[in-house]
Amino acid sequence: MKYVFNAILVIVVIIVIRMAACNNKQQTTNNVTAPVSQTENFSGARILKTCKNYFNNPESVTFDKDNEVIYISNTEDSVTDNESTGYICKASLYGEIIDTLKITNLVSPKGMAVKDGILYISDVNKIIKYNTEKEWVEKCYDIPEAQSLKDIEISNSGIVYISDSKADKVYKIEADSVNIFCADSLCKNIKALCLDNDELIGGAQNQIIKFKDSGKAITIAKLKFTPEALKSDGRGNYLISDIYGGIYAVGKDTTEMLVEKHKKINCGDFEYNTEQNLLFLPTITDNSLEIYELGKYLIPKEN
């Protein structure tokens, strides 16, 4: 009986060891599978190039689809309302400088938007209308009550929208006339603007808001910071950035970080080229332009 008991005991031990091995194998498989799944869903961005030597406090970038170039606004150092030291440079999609626009008396140019060969530029309390083909200023719209004009967007019908972060307003230029489009309380500290299927979207204090045609604003997303820049990704989601250049993709129920924050470097209004999946980020205090290629990110399109 003793030998039989020992044999049974050995068999039980072998079975237990084999079961433990199977469990460990299954656990290892699960541990390997999980990171693969996470990797497949990781958005990320790959930096392609950092451009320097020609920028001085670069504030904003806009993409000229018709000419396949970008424009970068530079505010210079320690400008005041009486100093004309700002400038706009034109560059290739790889950051190679092509030219400096022939615009005089720029003080602190910030937001820009281009459509049909016309580049609009915000500069403290005025909007410059610049013809990129003829290379001259067609008109200057003075807005005396404006305090700090920022971002610009142009609708399909040609309406020009401009944010004023200090006055908490959005202006519009329509039929060659400047008017207040929205002075809603939701416009507090509004900086960023973008168009999503020709609907105007804004980045205000700790939130993303949407404007109706009447100018009424409604909140569509709450944030923990005020967006410096806001772009539609063309799939029903938004790309937003904070002052330190952290860039996030925001969906209905999902937020993904694409570019990590910069340490002690303030960043400006980025541009996103949806066709080539390129993102251009001006770093104000580093006097540079960073060019990223966005990775595959899987935030689903909103239905």
- DSSP state string for 98-136: EEE----S--SEEEEEEETTEEEEEETTEEEEEETTTTE
Amino acid 275: pLDDT: 84
Mean pLDDT for the stretch of residues 41-50: 74
Supply the pTM of this predicted model: 0.82
Which residues contact residue 253 at a Cβ distance below 8 angstroms, ignoring those fewer than 6 apart? none
Question: Which of the residue ranges 123-137, 167-181, 259-273 would you say has the lowest mean pLDDT?
Answer: 259-273
Averaged pLDDT score across all residues of the chain: 83
Q: Which residue in 131, 181, 186, 132 sits closest to 152, CA to CA?
A: 181
User: Residue 32 pLDDT more than 90?
Assistant: no
Amino acid 30: pLDDT: 25
β-pair type (271-273, 255-259): unpaired
Which residues contact residue 289 at a Cβ distance below 8 angstroms, ignoring those fewer than 6 apart? 50, 51, 52, 55, 58, 61, 72, 91, 95, 280, 281, 282, 283
Distance CA 217, CA 202 (A): 9
Mean pLDDT for the stretch of residues 225-245: 88
Contact between 142 and 159 under an 8 Å Cβ cutoff? The reply is no
Amino acid 210: pLDDT: 96
Q: Which residue in 288, 303, 142 sits closest to 237, CA to CA?
A: 303
More confident residue, 137 or 28: 137
Q: What is the pLDDT of residues 163-215, one digit of tens each?
A: 999 999 999 999 999 999 999 999 999 999 999 989 999 999 999 999 999 99
User: Residue 274 pLDDT more than 80?
Assistant: yes
CB burial string 24-33: b at 16+ within 10 A, e below: eeeeeeeeee
Amino acid 28: pLDDT: 29
Q: Which residue in 141, 148, 139, 198 sits closest to 170, CA to CA?
A: 148
AA identity, residue 175 = A
User: Residue 141 pLDDT more than 60?
Assistant: yes
Helix (H, G, I), strand (E, B) or coil at 290: strand
Distance CA 270, CA 278 (A): 10
β-pair type (229-232, 217-222): unpaired
User: CA angle at residue 95 from 89 to 101, to 5 degrees?
Assistant: 10
Residue with tokens 């072998």: 14
Helix (H) or strand (E) holding 31: helix 2-40
AA identity, residue 195 = L
Amino acid 53: pLDDT: 87
pLDDT-derived band of residue 43, with 50, 70 and 90 as boundaries?
A: low
Distance CA 110, CA 150 (A): 6
pLDDT-derived band of residue 33, with 50, 70 and 90 as boundaries?
A: very low
Amino acid 254: pLDDT: 75
Mean pLDDT for the stretch of residues 5-27: 44
Contact between 113 and 231 under an 8 Å Cβ cutoff? The reply is no
The CATH number of 46-294, from 2.160.10.10, 3.30.1330.180, 2.130.10.10, 3.40.50.11540, is: 2.130.10.10
Distance CA 28, CA 22 (A): 10
Amino acid 250: pLDDT: 85
| Token pair recorded at residue 8 | 């049974």
User: Residue 144 pLDDT more than 80?
Assistant: yes
Residue with tokens 């949407």: 210
